[in-house]
Amino acid sequence: MTNRIFYTKPSITQLETDYATDAAATGWGARCYDYINRFERDFKTYLGSDFAIATSSCTGAMHMGLAALGVGEGDEVILADTNWVATVSPIVHLGAKPVFVDVLPDSWCIDPGEVERHITPKTKAIIATHIYGNLCDMDALLEIGKRTGIPVIEDAAEAIGSVWNGRRAGSMGAFGTFSFHGTKTLTTGEGGMFVTSDAVLHERVLTLSNHGRARGQTKQFWPDEIGFKYKMSNIQAAIGCAQIERIDELVARKREILAAYMVRLSALPGISMNPEYSGTINGAWMPTAVFHPSTGITREMMQQAFEAANIDARVFFYPLSSLSMFEDRPENVNAWSIPGRAINLPSYHDMSEADIDRVAATLLDVAAARIYHNSAALQQSA
């Protein structure tokens, strides 16, 4: 049996080990925030944002950011139906209503036209999720936000390294959030980041992130309001400091892997992968293959083939509106159609060319089998 190809794993070098060891040995007492402060500084510099707050997760960063904007009972927040549940959970926790809209068929990101169509007097925010490293149409979304006064938020959990017309994903909206889960291009094991260039919003989230204790409060252990506890540990931040030093290398390798798949699969009819349009850079977090409905190739066919080949492959996100905890079932055609004919491909940094060949060959075999099946069916019906 051939070795299993995993869909993702982190790139950890001696640098990460050294920094984490130092944090474990010395990062206590007066130095307990040293690596956290450094990680926040280096991350905001890389991103081009004015402020950054390291968090325990991207979900926590989103929760605090929405709370800081005043999202609450009776409000509505518009987001793409194609999303992981982490994006919608904070909306529900705050008592607001998520409004699921369709995605574009090529980028799989939120459709600005559908955003505009679903705005009501109750709309409090718009979340733009850069799915799998693909970029939302930020020009269109920011124009909507400017015209309506509704803040546009960037869920950039999967988009570190992605660039929209010279601006990095996560740096354009009212605030942005990032994930450093072990599957991500940059990892701290678990963890996230809240980023913004709005000084008032930053101060508000900073207070909320410290159990509601304002930075200027002189009374010890005196919270000014009920806040949150979504802090990143100093040891996690130490790993993050090493990773951000290597970020160009990490993103470049992800892009190489996506490009390698595109070359190998370019002969397949009816397949599309993560797009990169003029003026943009796709950080290529998760290479994804989507087949046209006319091919007849389904998610289940691909899952079965990959399992037989001893290869991990992730399913495309199910639409949030399909989950049992939500009652609304909007007619979001693309969000409901794409997952049934799509698959996420392995893309860890130290994949070999032979690994990439094996993954691509498995997809090519699925397509060949389907073409043979269609041909046989036509002959029988003739």
Q: Catalytic amino acids?
A: 184
Cα Dmax for the chain: 86
Residue 118's contacts (CB-CB under 8 Å, 6 or more residues apart) are 78, 99, 101
Question: Is residue 352 classed as helix, strand or coil in its secondary structure?
Answer: coil
Asked if 244 and 184 count as a contact pair (C-beta separation under 8 A), the reply is: no
Alpha helices in 125-278 (DSSP H): 138-148, 199-209, 234-245, 247-265
Enter the tokens of residue 357. Answer: 């060949």
Q: What is the Cα–Cα distance from 324 to 343, expressed in whole angstroms?
A: 23
Asked if 343 and 316 count as a contact pair (C-beta separation under 8 A), the reply is: yes
Asked if 138 and 161 count as a contact pair (C-beta separation under 8 A), the reply is: no
Strand duo 342-344 + 288-291: pairing: antiparallel
Beta pairing partners, 281:
163
Q: What is the Cα–Cα distance from 138 to 156, expressed in whole angstroms?
A: 12
Q: Radius of gyration (Cα) for the chain, nearest Å?
A: 22
Residue 63's contacts (CB-CB under 8 Å, 6 or more residues apart) are 89, 90, 93, 94, 228, 230
Q: Which of 91, 140, 85 is nearest to 112 (CA)?
A: 140
State the number of CA atoms in the 13 A half-sphere of 107 facing the CB: 24
